[in-house]
Amino acid sequence: MNHLKDTFKHKGKRKILISELREKGIFDESILEAFDAVPRHFFLDLAFEEQAYSNTAFQIGSGQTISHPFTVAFQTQLLEIKKGMKVLEIGTGSGFQTCILGKLGAKIVSIERHRDLHLKAKKMLEFFNINAKLFFGDGYAGNKSYAPYDRILVTCGAPDVPEVLMSQLKVGGHMVIPVGEDEEQKMLKITKKNNDDNSILEFGTFKFVPMLERTVK
């Protein structure tokens, strides 16, 4: 947290990243603005600072990674967030994605199973003054006290779609979740219907760290 300095160099690199995201199909200007407003290098160790605006994933400790900027932008775009929506995020990680959702005006509940990551992310969210409730816990249980959610975002690779999370989604709401047991997962956007006939759209393959049960202290 001692390198929270945003220089012209950082800002310039961020502009380039944003134009790359636009070229790759991120058309929602409010998402691109959020990427401009949240310096990604604040979330990385000093050692990686130079490359913070390349489209790569980085170690953030506890064997976990901050997702590729494109992945963060793409999942966010699929969610179709509107101001004031209640969003549940599974896998807070560095808190970068949480901040992007916050800049879009979402009210966020985010869960992380690694205690140290949870604590670090909490500081970042306070720094950015983002309206989010961060919990240390197992995302497989979701968070019933704030349910139902307009949107649910899973940022780790799930073996299948957890029933509990579906039950915490509003009818008409979307869940964006990478699903697959192998190295790669299919990006799914599920829209909940009031019968069991949910609509499921597929958006290519991605690589996420696995969604694992139980917490790690």
Pick the stretch among 6-14, 17-25, 106-114, 196-204 that binds ligand SAH (CB under 6 A). 106-114
For ligand SAH, what does the binding mask look like between residues 40 and 79, x meaning CB under 6 A?
A: ------------------------xxxx----x-------
Position among 117, 130, 132, 169 found at the interface with ligand SAH (CB under 6 A): 117
How many residues bind ligand SAH, per CB under 6 A? Answer: 25
Torsion sign (Cα): 190, 150, 125, 4: positive
For ligand SAH, what does the binding mask look like between residues 161 and 200, x meaning CB under 6 A?
A: ----------------------------------------
Catalytic residue (one of 67, 94, 167, 199): 67
Distance CA 17, CA 32 (A): 10
> What are the two backbone dihedrals, phi and then psi, of residue 33, each rounded to the nearest 5 degrees?
-65, -40
Distance CA 26, CA 87 (A): 20
CA neighbor of 210 nearest in space, from 114, 144, 124, 118: 114
> What are the two backbone dihedrals, phi and then psi, of residue 24, each rounded to the nearest 5 degrees?
-80, 0
Establish if 143 lies at the interface with ligand SAH (CB under 6 A).
no
Distance CA 96, CA 99 (A): 5
Closer to ligand SAH at the Cβ: 48 or 140? 140
Position among 76, 77, 94, 185 found at the interface with ligand SAH (CB under 6 A): 94
- Helical (H) or strand (E) element with 22: helix 8-23
* Integer CA distances (angstroms), 182 to 69, 114, 158, 189, 213, in order: 22, 22, 10, 19, 16
Known catalytic residue: 67?
yes
CA neighbor of 69 nearest in space, from 93, 44, 35: 35
Position among 97, 143, 168, 185 found at the interface with ligand SAH (CB under 6 A): 97
Q: How far is the CB of 177 from ligand SAH (least distance, A)?
A: 12
Residues forming the active site: 67
**Residues that bind ligand SAH in the complex, under the rule CB under 6 A:** 64-67, 72, 90-91, 93-94, 96-97, 111-114, 117, 138-140, 155-156, 209, 211-213
